[in-house]
Amino acid sequence: MSQYPTRVTESGVSVVRPDGRLNMVAAPALRRQLHELVDAGNTRVVVDLSATEFIDSSGLGALISGLKVARQAGGDLRIAAPTRQVTTVLELTNLNRVLATYDSADGAFDGDS
C-alpha cells in the first residue's frame, strides 16, 4: 500500500501530501496513514492536496475520517492548496464548510497554538 510523503513543520504540525488520484484504490491508504499519525500523538494534521489531481467520494471519506479522529484526539485536520478539481468536489458536496482550506500547508495552523 502507498505511504504518502509526510513532514513535520517547525510548529509541530504533520503534513501529508497525497499525489495523483485519491479514489477508492488510494483512499484506504490515506485513511490508515491519517489514523496512524493521530494515534502516534500528531493531532494537528494538514493534508496538502496540491499534487492531488482527482478526488472522489472515497477520498472525501478518508479526509472526513481523518478529521473525525483528529478532533476526537483534541486536534484538527485541515486541507491545503487543493487543485481545481478537488475544490469543485468540495464545493459541490458542501464539504468546504466542514474541511477548513488554506493556501499553504505551512500556514494552515498559523495563529493557533
Supply φ then ψ for residue 94, to 5 degrees. 65, 15
| Calpha distance 6→73 (Å, rounded) | 19
* Cα gap 46→104, rounded to integer Å: 9
Q: What are phi and psi of 85, to 5 degrees?
A: -60, -45
CB 63 within 8 Å of CB 47: yes
Question: For residue 91, how many other CB atoms are within 10 A of its CB?
Answer: 11
**Residue 30 has what pLDDT?**
98
Question: For residue 42, what are the contacts with CB-CB under 8 A and spacing of at least 6?
Answer: 8, 14, 75
Q: How confident is the model at residue 110, as a pLDDT?
A: 86
In the chain, which stretches have pLDDT less than 50? Answer: 1, 113
pLDDT score of 2: 57
What domains are there in the chain, each with its CATH number? Answer: 6-102 (3.30.750.24)
Cell, residue 19: 499525489
pLDDT of residue 9: 93
